[in-house]
Amino acid sequence: MKEYFQNIEIQPIPHLSKNGVSTDVLRIDQLHPVVSGNKWFKLQHYLQHAKNTGAEAIATFGGSWSNHIIATAYACREINMHSIGYIRGENSTKLTPTLAYAKTIGMELIFTDRDHYRDKQALIRENTREMVYWIMEGGYGKMGAEGAADILSVAGTGSYSHILCAVGTGTMMAGLVKGSAPGQHVVGISVLKNHFLLHSEVDNLLTPEERLKQKSILHDYHFGGYARYNDELISFISGLWNQCNLPTDIVYTSKLLFGVADLIGKGYFTPGSRLLVIHSGGLQGNNSLITGRLPF
Ligand SMILES: *Cc1c(COP(=O)(O)O)cnc(C)c1O
């Protein structure tokens, strides 16, 4: 996958450069046509650890549109490791494009009803097979954060005043805090509704010194909750595409960019701020929309 690093560009967004603030987007969604974005970064250290400990398979969890599932399937195939995905929900006769692709590239899919899915530790206990290495949902954990810290090293990012990202489990944000230069402020936009535990979930992945770095998590841009959206968000996505040639996904990056636009408008950033917005990928998730809903 490293050979794809050259695909990653920094894209200036003139439409979001006003009130003395300039905005660029780090397009890690361009890493790969399918396995785009942050999930691959988060997986790197787990995969290495799994290999070093002699694991023969990687098992993890995700929903039927999960970017994490698809990235795990792909990354495991690259290192010739068997992968197992515990999928939330019942098996349906027709797989989503996400799951169909994961299966095509070799992932073993095990459907798990919602009650069982909720209790990950029990699932792990009941399904412990020899030589299986478990990765938490979304790659949450310290090794995930260490992998995500590398996001800031794919291009020159040291001169930005703010690094902005969408936040699910908080692993990527923790990585960005780890990788941030002195004086940089990392701002996370939560895509979950009122999930205030995020602050400690991020801190748990950081050292005491890293916890003192400048970071904020904002809870105002979830649009009703995880994977929820409305017409306003859909037309915002269309506008970003039409005016800025920037494709975004409905779960993470559109809410992030919406938040950035709103914060700039409100004067949240002091004039002279230089923003770097992380486009973490996830565009394959837009396949859950009916065809034609988005202009790309
Ligand atoms: C998973 C994901 C995130 C959230 O990452 P966390 O490390 O779980 O906070 C953000 N953007 C995209 C596109 C993702 O797929």
Q: What residues flank ligand 1, with Cβ below 6 Å?
A: 37-39, 67, 138, 166-173, 249, 252-253, 280-282
Query: Could you tell me which of 133, 141, 144 has the C-alpha nearest to residue 50?
Result: 133
**Average pLDDT per 10 consecutive residues for the chain, totaling 296 residues:** 86 94 97 87 96 96 95 95 94 88 96 91 82 95 97 94 98 98 97 98 98 98 97 97 97 98 97 98 93 92
Query: Could you tell me which of 145, 148, 150, 126 has the C-alpha nearest to residue 59?
Result: 126
Ligand 1 atom closest to the CA of 282, numbered from 1: 13
Q: Which of 27, 31, 38 to mutate to test the pocket of ligand 1 (most atoms within 8 A of CB)?
A: 38
E-strand ranges in the chain read 10-12, 22-27, 57-62, 82-88, 107-112, 132-134, 162-167, 185-190, 215-218, 274-279
Q: What is the pLDDT of residues 237-286, one digit of tens each?
A: 999 999 999 999 999 999 999 999 999 999 999 999 999 999 999 999 99
The CA angle 193-100-143, to the nearest 5 degrees, is: 55
Q: Which two tokens stand for residue 243?
A: 């005016």
Distance (Å, rounded) from C-alpha 181 to C-alpha 162?
10
Strand pairing report for 162-167 and 132-134: unpaired
| Burial of 93: CB neighbours in 10 Å, binned 0-12, 13-18, 19+ | exposed
Residues 6+ apart with CB under 8 A from 212: none
Q: Which residue puts its alpha carbon closest to atom 15 of ligand 1?
A: 282
Q: What's the 274 CA to ligand 1 centre distance in angstroms? A: 23
Whether pTM exceeds 0.75: yes
Ligand 1 atom closest to the CA of 167, numbered from 1: 9
The CA angle 178-140-173, to the nearest 5 degrees, is: 35
Identify the pLDDT of residue 95.
Answer: 93
Q: Which of 26, 31, 66, 67 to mutate to test the pocket of ligand 1 (most atoms within 8 A of CB)?
A: 67
Identify the pLDDT of residue 93.
Answer: 75
Ligand 1 atom closest to the CA of 252, numbered from 1: 11
Q: Which of 25, 98, 252, 286 to mutate to test the pocket of ligand 1 (most atoms within 8 A of CB)?
A: 252
